[in-house]
Structure 1
Amino acid sequence: MSSELQGTCPAWCLFGILTLLLCPSGLCDCQMPPPIAHGFYKDMSSLLSFTTVIHYGCDEGYVLDGKAKITCSYSRWSSPAPQCKAQCLKPEIENGKLSVDENQYVEHENIAIPNHYIESENVTVQCDPGYAVVGPQTITCTENGTWYPEVPKCEWRM
């Protein structure tokens, strides 16, 4: 390469020209990764790859619902962005139990989190024989990590 051309087009310029030649318009044109509430993403793409790789994570108190890693090639994302959903602790019901599987857990980066439920999940309270539900029988985990309506109680009925 002539010294005149080297002076006007540094290495990064040549890389840009090479990218344009190898990656025609529309082939590698990915929009910004979709943002998610209560979470973040990190670009894990390789410098020489023409595929964009994004890894999502959630803020403390939230768990990922969906794929943690999405990719973009040929101007299309491999899947929708995941969501970060609030966690609710399993409600303690004296003289009763919940109608869902006692082994309920959510997955967070391949780690089981027992005794937690996620946003929008409903549970139904069932009282032991001789006890009755005082309050709403079905409650929902809310986006702020609390149960709505309030967790009911099981009271003795004669």
Structure 2
Amino acid sequence: MPLKLQSTFPALSLFGVLATLLSLPGLFGCQFPPKIDHGRYTKLFSIFSTEYKYECDSGYTLVGEEKISCSDSVWSPAAPQCKALCRTPEIANGKLSVYKIHYIEPETVTVQCNTGYGVVGSERITCLENRTWYPEVPKCERKILAGCEQVLAGKHLMQCLPGSQDVKLALEVYKLSLEIDVLELERNKEKAFQEP
């Protein structure tokens, strides 16, 4: 080895050993940085500090400061958390109380149905750590007002009829049946009124 390199080699070796020792968190009184669920940390290159940066797995977002360092034997600030991101649920004939592209666990939102529709299921849902909604996302279904059941049944009947003449005949028969129901109702009222 040339003489010039021999004289610098020990200095470089000593510098390497010092750099390694200084980069150990334990030397400054801190253990290794806290581990976080759904994420990891990496050491930021610096000879004289112990600074680490956190990042989250795909589908999770960092809540808190992304960098921490050892100061007075304590990691500061506190380690962040990786919180789940839930996608916006699609709700036909309805909407959410608060609209976002992603919701962060444990956010809770309320499902609101359009006029004439009602919530089937729980109207309040919460984003969970596994990136799903709990309870299951409800549906908005058309409300059937009292007394409208027969009209809806007639609508389904007409969809099964082959031609317009058949539909017309079915409507006439349906109209007659409603008129008969009204007449019977009036007759029963008169009968009840006449009885002592």
TM-score when normalising by structure 1: 0.73
> Would the alpha carbon gap of residues 72 and 156 (structure 1) be closer, same or farther in structure 2, given more than 3 Å must change?
same
| Deviation readout 1:110-140 (Å, 9 max, x if unpaired) | xxxxx11122111110111111100001111
Shift of 1:74: 2.0
> Counterpart in 2 of 1:137?
123
Unaligned runs of 5+ in 1: 1-5, 21-25, 105-114
Shift of 1:78: 1.6
Larger helix share, 1 or 2: 2
> Counterpart in 2 of 1:116?
102
Identity, % of aligned pairs?
A: 59
Q: Which has the higher contact order (CA 8 A, sep 6+)?
A: 1
Letter in structure 1 aligned against 2:38: H
Counterparts of 1:3-82 in structure 2, within 5 Å, are: 10-11=10-11, 12-13=13-14, 28-47=28-47, 49=48, 51-82=49-80
Shift of 1:94: 1.1
Separation of aligned partners in 1, 2:69 and 2:18: 24
2:28 partner SS? coil
- Decide whether the 8 Å contact of 1:64 with 1:82 is kept in 2: yes
Shift of 1:16: 6.0
Looking at CA atoms only, which structure, 1 or 2, has the larger radius of gyration?
Answer: 2
RMSD across aligned C-alpha pairs, in angstroms?
A: 2.8
| Deviation readout 1:13-48 (Å, 9 max, x if unpaired) | 47767999xxxxx9932221001111110010411x
TM-score when normalising by structure 2: 0.60
Q: Does 1:152 align with 2:125?
A: no
Separation of aligned partners in 1, 2:92 and 2:126: 19
- Decide whether the 8 Å contact of 1:27 with 1:74 is kept in 2: no
Q: Does 1:92 align with 2:103?
A: no
Letter in structure 1 aligned against 2:94: G
Separation of aligned partners in 1, 2:109 and 2:40: 29
| Deviation readout 1:32-77 (Å, 9 max, x if unpaired) | 1001111110010411x2x311100011111111111112222122
Separation of aligned partners in 2, 1:83 and 1:149: 24
Separation of aligned partners in 2, 1:92 and 1:32: 43
> Would the alpha carbon gap of residues 134 and 46 (structure 1) be closer, same or farther in structure 2, given more than 3 Å must change?
same
> Counterpart in 2 of 1:109?
none
Unaligned runs of 5+ in 2: 1-5, 146-196
Letter in structure 1 aligned against 2:116: G
Displaced runs of 4 or more, over 3 A? 10-20
